[in-house]
Amino acid sequence: MTDLETPMPLPLLEPVADEDIPTLDMVQPLVGFPERRHFALARLDELGVICDLRSLDDPDLRFVVMPPAPFCEDYAPEIDDTVADELGATDPSDLIALVVVTLGDTPTDATANLLAPVLVNHRTRRAGQYVLDDADWPLRAPLLAHA
């Protein structure tokens, strides 16, 4: 198994050809959306901490994603060789882990799914959402400490 460390800030995925934003091929679809395989990933802030993952097949389908490092420094999910092969990763540094964020009524209500990260190969632009074998990671981890 490979430990996947999340670099911070998120490396810039440069647009290809005439595209305005980078596109990802979801080799493992997002949970609950098996038909949606093509997504665009755009930064929502200058640091690349918060991103928009939007379906190119259904523009109304979008997710807020971010690297987990700003709120979970010890997040280092383990992936097996099958996942690395599926994403075309030859080195752990090829991969970026992003977590799907659920926004709440207030910032302190926001949570992140650490159990099923979106793994992105920044070289090949292949991506997928993978449910980790390590069930110790929470499905709804708070982003901010409650006051």
What DSSP element (H or E) covers 114?
strand 111-121
| Residue 99, amino acid | V
The answer, yes or no, to whether residue 6 has pLDDT greater than 60, is: no
Residue-wise pLDDT tens digits, 36-95: 999 999 888 887 688 999 999 998 999 999 999 888 888 888 888 999 999 999 998 899
pTM assigned to the model: 0.83
All domains of the chain in start order, with CATH: 2-142 (2.30.290.10)
What's the N-to-C CA distance of the chain in angstroms? 38
- Ranges 3-17, 69-83, 107-121: which has the least confidence: 3-17
* Inter-residue contact 16 to 118 (CB < 8 Å): no
